[in-house]
Structure 1
Amino acid sequence: MSTFAEIYRKIEQYSTIILHRHTSPDPDALGSQAGLARSLKLKFPEKRILCAGENDEGDLIWINKMDKVTAADYRGALVITTDTANTARIANDLYRHGNLLIKIDHHPDVEPYADMSYVDDQAPAASQIIADFLIEENLPLTPAVAYPLYAGIIGDTGRFMYPETTAHTFNIVAKLAATGINITEIARNISDVTFVQAKLQAEVLDYMKVDPCGAAYAVLSKDALAKLGVDSNQASCTVATPGRIKDIIAWNVFVEKPDGTYRVHYRSKGPVINELAAKHDGGGHALASGANAQDLAEVKQIFAELVQVTKEYQKKHE
């Protein structure tokens, strides 16, 4: 694994740097990408620093907006991915045209796809790693830089609820907050939903099926989303809803995409689920992961696997 110093030296060598994150982005994907890009722009105003994606920011466009990039931009360019464990999830395939690829991530390194990498799977958020990098290498940490990084950390720690949160996390967010960012505004932006999203959160409980072992799932079809005027990206607001129910310890939310395939959300209060996600073109954290399903048959298979893992977990903890 590369050090921060080695990555910084590579950044110094390139005049064009293009940052990618994962598709269907969450606050950490956008926050880590934006925080690094903004700091590098301040440090190196003579360089071209671009944020690339698939223009799928959705309700999170307040964190960052993508730049327009073409294949020509990648000639001789350094490409950096943040918060992206495997190549299948990198937003925008143009990243392949770069000269050198660096991976900065906090997921288990199941696919070491880059020329250089810094992966810390104990960190609760890629945004925390980026903040560490900026501080260690004495790069600019202004309010504009701190704002998306704070959003990313808040998002991936579940407001400091998840077990990966450490004292170091609080030290980092204290430094980000000290820049003068509006932390109340960030928290509200992450938690606020539209009225139709609130209705969908309520309806997901009607769709939900619960196994006696404590595993649950809900399928949100294209028709159900269209009825409320919600797209598949906005439907991500439903992912945490089943977790508020005491007897549910692991769950899937399946969201049908426009092409008829399904975005699969895994969440857990104990059973390890990232290995399950890896079987279905996905991955992530032990208790929060994402994957994909081609059809309802695969949806059924995925939930059967979740039930099995949940039963094994329950047996161990009887």
Structure 2
Amino acid sequence: MKSNAVLDAIVSSIEKMDRIFVYRHTNPDPDAIGTQYGLVQGLQTSFPSKTIITMDAVPTPLAWIGQSDTTVTPTADDLIVVVDCANHQRIAGAIPTDAFVIKIDHHPNNDPFGQLNWVDETYSSCAEMIYDLFASHPQQLTLKTAAATSLYAGIIGDTIRFSTPETTARTLQIAANLAALGVDVTAVSHHEMDLNPGLSKLCGYVLSQLTVDDHGLGYLILTQKVLSGFGLAYGEEDAVVSLPGSLTNVNVWLFFIETPDGKFRVHFRSKALPINAIAKEFNGGGHPLASGAFVPDLTAVKQVLQRMQAYMND
């Protein structure tokens, strides 16, 4: 857990403000939504007189975690908390100029955009950090079943059901503590594994079309035409990004996903070989075994692939 001074400062800032707006990153995953809603639900329980709001709409596949229906706009006089977002440009929604911003994140802190930053890469997920924030101040902060469920969803989402190297004894202990608050762990696990008909067909497409070279590098380009052919909206394909990791002949894999504006979102994934430095070369970043970047076109896609091939061949 981070030093009490940082956590004390976060709680003190929350206590002072009447309105708190919680943001997360664009193209959210279960940890981003689970952290965002877990924090908001926990703060609403702890401070019922305050206005505490989640920012930006939730994609349909993750609506089981939480849904936003607010139209309230923050001002510079409100407290802004940004969770699970490494870079300012990836924040979902506009932040008022001159607002006080708290950043809570578990990715490398290359962009400390907050006035108060709590960033700790030793956590498996940002949801795990929010649990520790509440646990460190039990007199002021209270978690009940709804918030615990959101945080649990975030943890098992980012650890891929406790299978990633970032999963620690602390992770498992926190998950157990959340489960003790009434989380229906079976229901959450089923939601995390749910595949609609389009996604199930995409799974078959990924496994049949994935190219794997002699060094165990798997790669696939998913165009908007392919996604729309399966009846999927951009972002829904995130549910299958971990799928190539189940193949015994794949050590590192790249997904190049065409965005609606014709660029390509790159998912870098690895079982053991650190790949975040390669993502950083293309203005991306992330964890050693799970990173991302955006590139402008197919020429850049080819460059990323060639760079990764050279890296793995060294």
Could you say which TM-score interval applies, normalised by the shorter chain?
over 0.9
1:316 aligns to what?
Answer: none
1:117 aligns to what?
Answer: 117
The answer to whether the Cα contact below 8 Å between 1:58 and 1:233 also exists between their aligned partners in 2 is no
Give the aligned residue type for 1:40.
L
1:181 aligns to what?
Answer: 183
CA distances 1:192-247 after superposition (whole Å, capped 9, x unpaired): 10122111111113332222211121001111111111112111122112111111
2:227 aligns to what?
Answer: 225
1:17 aligns to what?
Answer: 20
* CA distance, structure 1, for counterparts of residue 112 and residue 90 of structure 2: 13
Q: Shift of residue 96 of structure 1?
A: 4.0
2:75 aligns to what?
Answer: 74
1:4 aligns to what?
Answer: 7
Give the gaps of 5 or more residues in structure 1.
313-318
Summarize the alignment of residues 9-158 of structure 1 with structure 2, pairs less than 5 Å apart. 9-53=12-56, 55-69=57-71, 72-92=73-93, 94-97=94-97, 99-138=99-138, 139-158=141-160
| Number of residue pairs the alignment of both structures matches | 309
* CA spacing shift, 1:186–1:98, aligned 2, 3 Å: farther
Give the aligned residue type for 1:27.
P
The one of 280, 297, 301 equivalent to 1:299 is: 301
The answer to whether the Cα contact below 8 Å between 1:217 and 1:251 also exists between their aligned partners in 2 is yes
Give the aligned residue type for 1:74.
T
Partner SS state of residue 204, structure 1? helix
Summarize the alignment of residues 261-272 of structure 1 with structure 2, pairs less than 5 Å apart. 261-272=263-274
2:164 aligns to what?
Answer: 162
Partner SS state of residue 74, structure 2? helix
* CA distance, structure 2, for counterparts of residue 306 and residue 15 of structure 1: 49
Give the aligned residue type for 1:285.
H
* CA distance, structure 2, for counterparts of residue 200 and residue 10 of structure 1: 45
* CA spacing shift, 1:168–1:276, aligned 2, 3 Å: same
CA distances 1:100-141 after superposition (whole Å, capped 9, x unpaired): 011001111111111101111011000000000011111111
The answer to whether the Cα contact below 8 Å between 2:80 and 2:99 also exists between their aligned partners in 1 is yes
TM superposition score normalised by structure 2 = 0.94
The answer to whether the Cα contact below 8 Å between 1:50 and 1:67 also exists between their aligned partners in 2 is no
Partner SS state of residue 124, structure 2? coil
* CA distance, structure 2, for counterparts of residue 280 and residue 68 of structure 1: 36
* CA distance, structure 1, for counterparts of residue 281 and residue 87 of structure 2: 13
The answer to whether the Cα contact below 8 Å between 2:127 and 2:151 also exists between their aligned partners in 1 is yes
Give the aligned residue type for 2:184.
N
TM superposition score normalised by structure 1 = 0.93
Q: Shift of residue 98 of structure 1?
A: 5.5
The answer to whether the Cα contact below 8 Å between 1:52 and 1:67 also exists between their aligned partners in 2 is no
CA distances 1:75-113 after superposition (whole Å, capped 9, x unpaired): 301111111111121111x12435201100111111111
Partner SS state of residue 79, structure 1? strand
* CA distance, structure 1, for counterparts of residue 41 and residue 281 of structure 2: 36
Partner SS state of residue 180, structure 1? coil
Of the structure 1 ranges 141-150 and 96-105, higher mean CA displacement relative to structure 2 is found in 96-105
Q: Shift of residue 280 of structure 1?
A: 3.0
* CA distance, structure 2, for counterparts of residue 84 and residue 291 of structure 1: 14
User: What's the C-alpha RMSD, in Å, of the aligned pairs?
Assistant: 1.6
Give the aligned residue type for 2:107.
H
Partner SS state of residue 66, structure 1? coil
Summarize the alignment of residues 186-205 of structure 1 with structure 2, pairs less than 5 Å apart. 186-205=188-207
* CA distance, structure 2, for counterparts of residue 291 and residue 65 of structure 1: 27
